[in-house]
Chains A and B, each alone.
Chain A
């Protein structure tokens, strides 16, 4: 018996790497202050500011859908990138708060933005979702599987809260942020570093949705301990993977979980050589914790108000339920 010669499979032409081309974000108009929450539950402005650093947050109206926010942020990012929607071939929506698991958010979001028939999928890594999406997108582009990828972090956490539970209702909020990634023409212009990611499934129950009431619950102390001790090493790993030193980081954008966690991560990075003048995102003060949306929301807001400039070296660090975490260094578009 003779063996038929096997035709080797052809693979796509690879790219040197990926870079960020544009960003966008959106938040509901409805501002909810700490005083507003104090009317509904046993809490007060000072208590909330001291524990989580939040002064106000945005909560979507009942009729606003997660895909409305995802589409708005995504369309802005496409416009900011200067490319035509038809050039985007993959859409990733990082989310953990769709009202139902089917259909996914990504396909309908793409349709609304006018991106014809892209590969479209949702990604659930909770608050780390945007960084997981960025890592996936950058590698799709580098491998030649995709040319332009739209990554969106979108959450409507207000649908999943017990509005009488002061341990969660004061923290979480709604919003969406997005980025368009495309191929870097040469090695010098690569603008997304390798992702450092991982998980801690042994701590899965520390942040979960209670089946009996569909409301988010978390073990605050356990999560705080994990985030303030285990996340800085992940950030340092991302810096190392990108071939940089902590002193090269211009801007730190950690997931906006709690201002005290943000400050603890920044402090640990500075102890390892990050600069005192490194800009640290504090978007949580007026946005609350928007899970997968918090990193792109914070970075987009900082671009708009001039705290971050095009070309800055930015460290993104996502962490949350799963527990899961991911970080990478990017160049601000």
Chain B
């Protein structure tokens, strides 16, 4: 089981690969849509990769609720 810091690092790597955003930019308070300019299809790609990496399920309706990087870290942490 990964702790929150490890989840954040892993998630930042996925965001960098999918959306080309530097890992340093991916911090908990950032909004995926408003701050990082990630569109809905890229969010699906990030979710699919996060599912593989952390062994969680992130259905589309849950995905829509994950507004910030911090939301995603908390979700993954509590569903591992």
Q: Which residues of A contact B (CB under 8 A)?
A: 50-51, 219-222, 224-225, 228-229, 258, 260, 264
Knowing A221-B63, A222-B60 touch, does A51 contact B41 (C-beta < 8 A)?
Answer: yes
Could you say which of A51, A220, A258, A264 contacts B45, with CB atoms under 8 Å apart?
Answer: A264
**In the complex, what residues of B have CB within 8 A of residue A260's CB?**
41
A228 to B63, CA, bound (A): 16
A222 to B44, CA, bound (A): 9
> Are B48 and A221 neighbours in the complex by a CB distance under 8 Å?
no
Could you say which of B39, B43, B45, B60 contacts A228, with CB atoms under 8 Å apart?
Answer: B45
**Most chain A CB neighbours (cut-off 10 Å) among B44, B48, B60:** B44
A221 to B44, CA, bound (A): 7
19 contacts between A and B (CB under 8 A): A51-B39, A51-B41, A219-B60, A220-B41, A221-B40, A221-B44, A221-B60, A221-B63, A222-B60, A225-B44, A225-B47, A225-B48, A225-B60, A228-B44, A228-B45, A229-B48, A258-B41, A260-B41, A264-B45
Identify whether the interface residues of A are mostly helix, strand, loop, or mixed.
helix
Instruction: List which B1-60 residues lie within 8 A (CB) of chain A.
Output: 39-41, 43-45, 47-48, 60
A220 to B63, CA, bound (A): 14
> Are B40 and A220 neighbours in the complex by a CB distance under 8 Å?
yes
**In the complex, what residues of B have CB within 8 A of residue A228's CB?**
44-45, 48
A260 to B40, CA, bound (A): 12
A314 to B63, CA, bound (A): 36
**In the complex, what residues of B have CB within 8 A of residue A220's CB?**
40-41
**Most chain B CB neighbours (cut-off 10 Å) among A50, A221, A229:** A221
**In the complex, what residues of B have CB within 8 A of residue A51's CB?**
39, 41
A225 to B60, CA, bound (A): 9
Could you say which of A50, A219, A222, A258 contacts B39, with CB atoms under 8 Å apart?
Answer: A50
**In the complex, what residues of B have CB within 8 A of residue A222's CB?**
60
